[in-house]
Amino acid sequence: MNEFDLIRRYFTRPVPPGYLGAGDDCALLPVAPGKQLATSTDLLIEGRHFLPDADPASLGHKALAVNISDLAAMGAEPLGCMLGLSLPKVDEAWLAAFADAFHELAHEAGCPLVGGDTTRSPDGIVISVTVFGQIEQGRALLRSAARPDDDIWVTGTLGAPHAALQWLTRQWPAQPALLAAARPALERPVPPWRFAQRLPGLAHAALDISDGLLQDLGHILKASGCGAILYYHQLPIDSVLEPLDESLVREAVLSGGDVYQLCFTAAPRNREAIAELARAFDVRATRIGVIESGAHLKVHDAAGRPIPISSRGFDHFA
Amino acid sequence: MNEFDLIRRYFTRPVPPGYLGAGDDCALLPVAPGKQLATSTDLLIEGRHFLPDADPASLGHKALAVNISDLAAMGAEPLGCMLGLSLPKVDEAWLAAFADAFHELAHEAGCPLVGGDTTRSPDGIVISVTVFGQIEQGRALLRSAARPDDDIWVTGTLGAPHAALQWLTRQWPAQPALLAAARPALERPVPPWRFAQRLPGLAHAALDISDGLLQDLGHILKASGCGAILYYHQLPIDSVLEPLDESLVREAVLSGGDVYQLCFTAAPRNREAIAELARAFDVRATRIGVIESGAHLKVHDAAGRPIPISSRGFDHFA
């Protein structure tokens, strides 16, 4: 199978009216008048972000999901995506599983694959995804927009992806039943992209929790020139963590990355509207803290006592 | 140096008004009302597309140039780009040279770097570039738009990048002086992006010559349902090839890839306007053949006799 056949067989699907998909020098996408293009890109490298025997369907899903999560974190509406794929060999079963899962999420999110690049790599698999979205001029949810007295919210639950990764990489003692329960959160994250598109106007700052709650919230605080208190007892800890030691739970919940849910801030007057929006889109949204003047980031227990925090999430070059 | 410092030091430059650059979940770019987004992506893998000791400045330039070439091939105006970079280690001299050359071309082409992703790779360097451009609705130069009786044009000269690559990889006997003369065409291609933005309305089909003239023109013919005659004696053969055997020249000119110039078709009535445009933008534009009804691709010599052709360019999975 040559390069053109491979693209045709696995990656060419019909695109919506007004689009030009794979097959020319560029793809063409519509951006509505008055809207800005929002775009984000991720590189996934075998041996760094996934193991050689990783399930191809999970990879295909997650490679796109992490990028759709970035659009959600701006409040943008998905428009389409590009895929760069470098493979040591053409493995048709692998390609079919990868492509099916990728296209399934793309279809569900209204984010059709419009083009890309395939090539052969001497070493491992490399996956590069770039997403495009649109958002009305000036309405994007920026990291710099948090204000003192804002509530801090998160969607979904915290900790399960980190726990799954620790069990998979044997950094935590084996717990097969818990791993099975936690694994979908790591391998098939579903960012709340529909809910997120309705947040502009209700929320101020937002980002997705890819590097861990403390580190990611820290980005909001730094960009906004604010401090924050988190209420540990209000955090939506994933139920899979219940049987674990408190120290492991804290690590997973406060510093565990790969969550691909949103952390956002909003004025207290919007509490009811946000709760209603969450109900309408079947999203769990939890208030977990408050933005304050200052530059601190503190975590309080139920009695209002500070919990010591150290680990600050993940840095690729640390 | 951590990931955030690395991005700040080497890849964060001011972006134009109306843009949001690196530092948030997505970059934001303006797309003018009535215009479509044009986008293209390329993956460059060490050991496949470049050698471990490749000059970082050439890599930085070329990684962006090949993508700007795709915008030019649609007649689109560059808007911005994203860079994914995976490195086995942080080498500051390498990064500085790569980033300077990348930013220099980005600045010249009005294609600012607005965001990206950096990560550590276990094996070689991986470079992923995605470009964004805009073009008025319905004006893009599609591969499918060639019509019988159109002239076939190319910009620039043919053959030098292929020759440089053969000498560098020792597939041709060493010719140090010729290699030195040919090398810039391989390592620092300059696609005619300004000229290309004025082609919509004058030209019909266009693409860039990345895989070799015959293979790339073949894409136009297939997409347009046409045939073509090329006049070999009219091809703008790069002067660096003059001392070579005719068989090597033919291989380089007809099948040599990596050219990143345009091949386009246009009605004969636009000959003078295209020649004038080329003069205005200091681009060499040469008529090299004619589109015909049918499905053939023939190359004729000066006496109108067919030249046998075989090699059809480059396929990553062949």
Could you give the CA distance from residue A306 to residue A162 in angstroms, rounded to a whole number? 23
**Is residue B38 pLDDT above 50, yes or no?**
yes
Q: Phi/psi zone of residue B10: left (φ > 0), alpha (ψ -120 to 50 degrees), beta?
A: alpha
Query: Is B70 an 8 Å CB contact of chain A?
Result: yes
Could you give the CA distance from residue B70 to residue B74 in angstroms, rounded to a whole number? 7
Could you give the CA distance from residue B26 to residue A39 in angstroms, rounded to a whole number? 5
Dump pLDDT digits (tens) for B225-240: 999 999 999 999 999 9
Cβ atoms within 10 A of the Cβ of B281, count?
A: 16
Cβ neighbors of B113 (< 8 A, separation 6 or more) are B11, B13, B21, B22, B80, B81, B82, B83, B102, B103, B106
Average pLDDT, chain B: 93
Give yes or no: residues B155 and B101 share one domain.
no
Question: How many CB pairs lie under 8 A apart between chains A and B?
Answer: 233
**Range 170-229 of B in CB contact (< 8 A) with A:** 206-208, 223
Give yes or no: residues A89 and A162 share one domain.
no
Query: Quick check: is A283 in a domain?
Result: yes
Helix (H, G, I), strand (E, B) or coil at A261: coil
Query: Quick check: is A288 in a domain?
Result: yes
Query: Quick check: is A310 in a domain?
Result: no
State how far residue B239 is from chain A, nearest Cα, in angstroms: 28
Report the DSSP beta bridge partners of residue B84. B117, B128
Query: Quick check: is B48 in a domain?
Result: yes
Q: Which two tokens stand for residue B257?
A: 């890839």
**CB–CB contact A48 B122 (8 Å):** yes
Running DSSP on this structure, what letter comes out for residue B117? E
Q: CATH number, domain at B108?
A: 3.30.1330.10
C-beta separation of A46 from B5 below 8 A: no
Query: Quick check: is B305 in a domain?
Result: no
pLDDT value for B314: 44
Domain end, chosen from A73, A104, A136, is at A136
Give yes or no: residues A158 and A42 share one domain.
no
Helix (H, G, I), strand (E, B) or coil at B300: strand
Query: Is B269 an 8 Å CB contact of chain A?
Result: no
Query: Is B84 an 8 Å CB contact of chain A?
Result: yes
The answer on whether B293 is annotated among ligand-binding residues is no
C-beta separation of A312 from A244 below 8 A: no
Give yes or no: residues A192 and A232 share one domain.
yes
B46 burial type by CB count under 10 A (0-12 exposed, 13-18 middle, 19+ buried): buried
Give yes or no: residues A265 and A240 share one domain.
yes
State how far residue B234 is from chain A, nearest Cα, in angstroms: 26
**Range 117-146 of A in CB contact (< 8 A) with B:** 117-124, 126, 128, 130, 132-133, 135, 140, 142-144
Domain end, chosen from A101, A119, A136, is at A136
Report the DSSP beta bridge partners of residue A87. A120
* Interface with chain B: mutation pick from A25, A134, A317, highest number of B CBs within 10 Å: A25
Query: Is B27 an 8 Å CB contact of chain A?
Result: yes
Cβ neighbors of A137 (< 8 A, separation 6 or more) are A34, A35, A36
Q: For every one of its 318 residues, what pLDDT tens digit does chain A have, with 9 covering 90 and above? A: 777 788 788 888 888 888 988 888 899 999 999 999 999 999 999 988 888 889 999 999 999 999 999 999 999 999 999 999 999 988 999 999 999 999 999 999 999 999 999 988 888 999 999 999 999 999 999 999 999 999 999 999 999 999 999 999 899 999 999 999 999 999 999 999 999 999 999 999 999 999 999 999 999 999 999 999 999 999 999 999 999 999 999 999 999 999 999 999 999 999 999 999 999 999 999 999 999 999 999 999 999 999 988 645 444 444
Buried b (16+ CB within 10 A) or exposed e, A226-258: bbbbbbbeebbbbebbeebeeebbbbbbbbbbb
What is the domain range of residue B203? 143-300
Query: Is B91 an 8 Å CB contact of chain A?
Result: no
Helix (H, G, I), strand (E, B) or coil at B36: strand
Give yes or no: residues B125 and B186 share one domain.
no
Closest residue to A48, CB basis, from B70, B119, B315: B119
State how far residue A117 is from chain B, nearest Cα, in angstroms: 6
- Residues of chain B positioned with their CB less than 8 A from the CB of A89: none
Query: Is A92 an 8 Å CB contact of chain B?
Result: no
Give yes or no: residues B164 and B198 share one domain.
yes
Query: Is B51 an 8 Å CB contact of chain A?
Result: no
Q: Phi/psi zone of residue B113: left (φ > 0), alpha (ψ -120 to 50 degrees), beta?
A: beta
Query: Quick check: is A317 in a domain?
Result: no
Domain tally for chain A? 2
Residue type, B5: D
Upper half-sphere CA count for residue B219 (Cβ side, 13 Å): 23
C-beta separation of B171 from B251 below 8 A: no
Give yes or no: residues B72 and B201 share one domain.
no
Query: What are the C-alpha distances in Å from A55 to residues A49, B148, B149, B305?
Result: 13, 49, 52, 56
pLDDT value for B280: 98
Report the DSSP beta bridge partners of residue B299. B230
**Is residue B17 pLDDT above 80, yes or no?**
yes
Query: Quick check: is A96 in a domain?
Result: yes
A273 phi/psi in degrees, rounded to 5: -65, -40
Cβ atoms within 10 A of the Cβ of B233, count?
A: 10
Q: Which residue of A has its CA nearest to B143?
A: A24
Helix (H, G, I), strand (E, B) or coil at A277: helix
Q: Where residue B316 falls among pLDDT bands split at 50, 70, 90?
A: very low
> What kind and span of H or E run contains B84?
strand B77-87
Dump pLDDT digits (tens) for B89-144: 889 999 999 999 999 999 999 999 999 999 888 889 999 999 999 999 999 999 99
Q: CATH number, domain at B265?
A: 3.90.650.10
Give yes or no: residues B69 and B185 share one domain.
no
The structure tokens 């039943």 sit at A177
B98 phi/psi in degrees, rounded to 5: -60, -50
- Residues of chain B positioned with their CB less than 8 A from the CB of A82: 39-41, 130
Dump pLDDT digits (tens) for B133-162: 999 999 999 999 999 999 999 999 999 999
Running DSSP on this structure, what letter comes out for residue A123? S
C-beta separation of A265 from A185 below 8 A: no
- Residues of chain A positioned with their CB less than 8 A from the CB of B70: 25-26
Give yes or no: residues B157 and B289 share one domain.
yes
- The complex's ipTM works out to 0.89
Give yes or no: residues A19 and A48 share one domain.
yes
**CB–CB contact B37 A43 (8 Å):** no
Query: Is B48 an 8 Å CB contact of chain A?
Result: yes
Buried b (16+ CB within 10 A) or exposed e, B290-308: bbbeeeebebbeeeeeeee
Pick from B189, B203, B208, B219: nearest CA to B152: B203
Domain end, chosen from B136, B151, B172, is at B136
**Is residue B313 pLDDT above 70, yes or no?**
no
Cβ atoms within 10 A of the Cβ of A222, count?
A: 14
pLDDT value for A318: 42
Alpha-carbon Rg for chain A, nearest whole angstrom, is 20
Helices A56-74 and A176-187 cross at an angle (nearest 10°) of 50
pLDDT value for B5: 81
**CB–CB contact A48 B121 (8 Å):** yes
Give yes or no: residues A130 and A158 share one domain.
no
Could you give the CA distance from residue A127 to residue B128 in angstroms, rounded to a whole number? 10
Query: Quick check: is A311 in a domain?
Result: no
pLDDT value for A5: 81
